[in-house]
Structure 1
Amino acid sequence: MLHTIFFLSSLLIISSHASVQDFCVGDLKAPEGPAGYSCKKPSLVTVDDFVFTGLRAAGNTSNIIKAAVSPAFAAQFPGVNGLGISVARLDLAPNGVIPMHTHPGASELLVVTQGSILAGFVSSANDVYLKKLKRGDVMLFPQGLLHFQINSAGVNSIAFVSFGSPSPGLQILDFALFANDLPSKLVEKTTFLDDATVKALKAVLGGTG
C-alpha cells in the first residue's frame, strides 16, 4: 500500500513539474489580454528576449513636467511577460516632477541613483508619507495609491523603479482631470476649482470641454 501511494505521489510531482513553463516571452504581434501576451514559440526565443538596453540613455526631460519615464514593461521588454516583474528609469531635470499618479496593477520600489528626490504617497485614509531621498535610498509605494516624485536637487536626478507586474498600468491625476474632454463644469463640481482655473489647466494640458 505504501509503495502504491509513493508511486502515485511521484507521478503527481513529475506531472506538475512537466506542466510548469520556465518563461513566457511575450509575442508582441498578438494582442495583450488581462493575463498578458501570448507566449512566443520556444524555438523563436533568443537571449535578446531577456536583455533590455533601453534604460542606458537618459529620457527627454524637455517637457512641461521636466521629467521622463523610460519603461521596460512587457510591451517594451517581452521577457518579463508573465513573470510578475518590470522596471523603469526616471529622469528628473532640476525642478522636474512626476505628478500625482497611480499604478492600478502593481506596487513600486524606487531606488535613487543620482541626485535627490522628494517622494511621497497618500494612503486610503489620507495619511501622507513623505521623504527626501538621497543616492542609494529606497522607497516603497503600495499598489494603487497616489504618489509622486520631485527633484529636490539642483542637478539632474535619476532613479530606477521596479514593479510587481509586467504591466503595472499608469494613471496621472492631472492628465485624468485636465487632458481630456471631460466637461469643465463636471471637473469644477468634483474638484471645487473655479471655472477659470479649470480652463487654464485644460489649456496647458490639452484638454477640451
Structure 2
Amino acid sequence: MAASSYFLLAAFFAIVISRAIASDPSPLQDFCVADMHSPVKVNGFVCKDPMAVNPDDFFKAANLDKPRDTMHSKVGSVVTLISALQLPGLNTLGISLARIDYAPLGQNPPHTHPRATEILTVLEGTLYVGFVTSNPNNTLFAKVLNKGDVFVFPQGLIHFQFNPDYHKPAVAIAALSSQNPGAITIANAVFGSKPPISDDVLAKAFQVQKGTIDWLQAQFWENNQN
C-alpha cells in the first residue's frame, strides 16, 4: 500500500475510534462552525451563522503527509495539531487530530491532555510509549510499538513517546476525544511556569537542593507544538 494511502487510512481509523469515545458534550445540531471573530466568550466557541457556513469551514490544507523539521527541536519532536482552533468545523464535534514527527532518539516528553483520551497509531518507525496511573500506585504501562501498531493513553494521565532508533525518524498520528484537548508538558509546567514556582516548594517536593531547582528553572523549556 502506498505511503499516502496508508496515512489516510490510519487517519480515518483514528478519527472514527476517537469519535466513538468522545468526551465533549454531544452536539444539539448538525454543526456549529466556530466564529473566531465573536467577542462572546463561552466554553467552546460561538456558532457562526449557518447561512454564512461554506465547505471551507470543514477543510484545512494541513499537508499532514509531509514530514516536519525536527532538527531544531530540543526534544526532537514536532506536534502538528488540528483542533477547532485550526479547523472551525470541528467545534462541538468532540474530536481533534495530530501528526507527531520524531527525530532519531527524539521524544514527545511526559505530558497530559486534561480533556481527552488519545489513541496513537504508528505510521513509520518504532516508538517506546507509556503512561503512568494516578496515586497511590503510579504504575507504568509501557510498550514498544512498530509500524501499524496502536496504543491508547487514558484521559488526564501522564504519558510519553520516544523514538529509540539512532538513525531513523518515526511518525505517528493521534486522535483525541476533544475539540480542544489541551496539553500540559510536565517539565514546562513545573520548572518553566511564569512566574516561577517557589524553589522552596519544588526543592521539598522533589527532595533535592534548591540549587538544583534554580538550575532547572533557568533552562529553556521548549514547546514542541507546531
| TM-score, normalising length: structure 1 | 0.84
* Structure 1 residue aligned with 2:99: 89
Residue in 1 that maps onto 2:37: 29
1:188 to 200, 203, 207: 203
Distance in structure 2 (CA, Å) of the matches to 1:92 and 1:43: 42
Asked if the contact 1:69–1:89 (Cα under 8 Å) also holds between the matched residues in 2, the reply is yes
Q: CA deviation at 1:151?
A: 0.9
Deviation at 1:83, TM superposition (A): 0.4
The share of aligned pairs that are identical, in percent, is 38
Q: What secondary structure does 1:205 align onto?
A: coil
Deviation at 1:82, TM superposition (A): 0.2
Shift of 1:100: 0.8
Q: Once superposed, which parts of structure 1, at least 4 consecutive aligned residues long, lie more than 4 Å away?
A: 31-34
Q: What are the superposed Cα offsets for residues 129-172 of structure 1, whole Å, 9 maximum, x if unpaired? A: 00011110110000000000101223111101001100011111
Equivalent residues of 1:178, 1:205 under 8 A apart: no
Task: Identify which of structures 1 and 2 has the higher relative contact order when contacts are C-alpha pairs closer than 8 Å and 6+ apart.
Answer: 2
Residue type of the alignment partner of 1:185: D
The residue number in structure 2 matching 1:162 is 175
Partner of 2:139: 127
Deviates more, 1:101-110 or 1:48-57: 48-57
Which residue does 1:40 correspond to in 2?
48
Task: Tell me the distance in 1 between the aligned counterparts of 2:36 and 2:49.
Answer: 12
Bigger Rg, which one = 1
Structure 1: any 5+ residue segments left out of the alignment? 1-18
Determine if the alignment matches structure 1 residue 104 to structure 2 residue 106. Answer: no
CA RMSD, 1 decimal: 2.0
List alignment gaps of at least 5 residues for structure 2. 1-26
What's the TM-score once normalised by structure 2's chain length? 0.78
**Displacement, 1:189?**
1.3
* 3-state SS, counterpart of residue 118 of structure 1: strand
Corresponding letter in the other structure for 2:55: V
